[in-house]
């Protein structure tokens, strides 16, 4: 009998930019000053969008909304590292992924306003719609990654999920498939410390979420999710590895959700002010701004210009969203499948007949035209 050590596992945490805006020069990604400003602009666009969306929800102009305040670097940093041909599979807090990849802001407002037409993007943008079921989209990402390899496409799939999703079987199955088949996929976990009201400490006894990748045979890295440079660098390296046929990576972006889970939540019931204030000092945008200012890339005039452009862009998107013609009720049938099934065709026929009867009855009573397009 003998006791033999079989493996020597280790995980790492990547941090480049600290809370005072100082960097580790040896780890800095190779970004030009123009790219640094562009990256900052994406962060500001997302921040302004997020604040506006919260106001619109409170005014009843969109539906329930999930804020990304405090997590801006996670989505912008990862999306900025992607190539155009890569595929993204978001959860519901990845607004920054859509907009950084070029999806019009009006689409994102549409989606949160309950108009599913907002999920329709240009075919070459390779952004799947928001997935609401917790932990379902990592499976979709791994499946897409395998399809890309089968088709010999130079594309990587990226699946986003929160720390709560790592308690779901679907996510673990996705990780197992990714490891077994060495899929060209990057699995991005936004660990914002809470699965709605459930703290991360009650979800797993593992010291990190990153180390969960070890069991499935691939690399897991914990990244300071409030450091946009570290997020970008970790994502860039993970994408390069996947593109080179060296398999998947799990990125645990260690961050914090500053707002409520959604506008239907009240986080004051399970979090305290001291915790919020601690994380407020780690704000990813303030940190990056401090660095850019220190190196002379961001001036007060440029900062004002970026903010004004972001405000203008958001207001134009709101106007476009609110003046858009209403969708046709038949859309719910026409866009469920590529080709209408016999059952749905029958339902559509009955539904439209019912609408016609209702509209005719309404018109005869009020003398007005039909109530549906």
Return the exposure string of 192-206: e unless at least 16 CB atoms fall within 10 Å of the residue's CB, then b: bbbbeeeebeebeee
Which of 42, 149, 200, 261 is catalytic? The answer is 261
Q: Do residues 90 and 128 touch, judged by C-beta distance below 8 A?
A: yes
Q: Do residues 102 and 148 touch, judged by C-beta distance below 8 A?
A: no
CB atoms within 10 A of CB 293: 15
Residue for token digits 């399809």?
147
Residue for token digits 């409170």?
58
Which of 12, 58, 117, 270 is catalytic? The answer is 270
3 state SS for 201-249: HHCCCCCCCHHHHHHHCCEEEEEECCCHHHHHHHHHHHHHHHHCCCCCE
CB atoms within 10 A of CB 53: 25
Which of 42, 149, 200, 257 is catalytic? The answer is 257
Helix 137-150 to helix 169-180 angle (10° resolution) is 20
Active-site annotation holds for 321: no
Measure the CA–CA gap between 128 and 143, rounded to whole angstroms: 13
Active-site annotation holds for 111: no
Return the exposure string of 11-23: e unless at least 16 CB atoms fall within 10 Å of the residue's CB, then b: beebbbbeeebeb
Q: Do residues 248 and 179 touch, judged by C-beta distance below 8 A?
A: yes
Task: Report the sign of the C-alpha dihedral through residues 289, 290, 296, 302, in that order.
Answer: positive
User: Token pair of 145, please?
Assistant: 């990654």
Active-site annotation holds for 254: no
Catalytic residues: 257, 261, 270
């Amino acid at each position: 009998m003998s006791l033999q050590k079989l493996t020597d596992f280790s995980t790492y945490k990547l941090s480049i930019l600290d809370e005072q805006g100082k960097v580790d020069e040896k780890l800095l990604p190779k970004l030009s000053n123009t790219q640094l400003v562009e990256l900052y602009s994406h962060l500001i666009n997302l921040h302004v969008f997020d604040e506006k969306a919260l106001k619109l929800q409170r005014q009843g102009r969109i539906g329930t909304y999930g804020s990304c305040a405090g997590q801006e670097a996670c989505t912008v940093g990862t999306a900025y590292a992607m190539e155009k041909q890569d595929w993204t599979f978001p959860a519901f807090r990845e607004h920054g992924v859509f907009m950084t990849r070029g999806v019009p802001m009006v689409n994102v407002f549409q989606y949160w306003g309950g108009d599913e037409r907002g999920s329709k993007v240009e075919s070459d943008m390779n952004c799947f719609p928001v997935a609401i079921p917790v932990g379902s989209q990592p499976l979709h990402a791994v499946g897409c990654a395998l399809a890309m390899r089968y088709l010999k496409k130079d594309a990587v799939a990226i699946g986003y999920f929160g720390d709560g999703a790592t308690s779901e079987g679907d996510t673990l199955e996705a990780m197992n498939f990714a490891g077994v088949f060495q899929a060209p996929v990057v699995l991005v976990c936004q660990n914002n410390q809470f699965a709605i009201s459930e703290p991360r400490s009650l979800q797993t006894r593992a010291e990190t979420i990153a180390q969960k990748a070890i069991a499935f045979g691939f690399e897991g890295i914990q990244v300071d999710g409030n450091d946009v440079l570290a997020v970008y660098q970790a994502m860039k390296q993970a994408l390069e590895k996947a593109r080179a046929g060296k398999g998947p990576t799990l990125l645990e972006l260690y961050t914090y959700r500053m707002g409520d889970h959604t506008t239907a939540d009240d986080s004051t019931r399970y979090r305290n002010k001291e915790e919020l204030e601690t994380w407020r000092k780690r704000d990813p945008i303030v940190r990056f701004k401090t660095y850019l200012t220190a190196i002379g890339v961001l001036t007060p005039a440029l900062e004002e210009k970026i903010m004004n452009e972001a405000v203008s862009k958001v207001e134009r998107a709101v106007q476009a969203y609110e003046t858009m013609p209403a969708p046709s009720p038949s859309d719910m049938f026409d866009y469920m499948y590529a080709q209408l099934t016999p059952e749905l065709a029958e339902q559509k026929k009955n539904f439209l007949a019912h609408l016609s009867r209702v509209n005719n009855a309404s018109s005869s009573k009020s003398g007005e035209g039909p109530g549906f397009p």
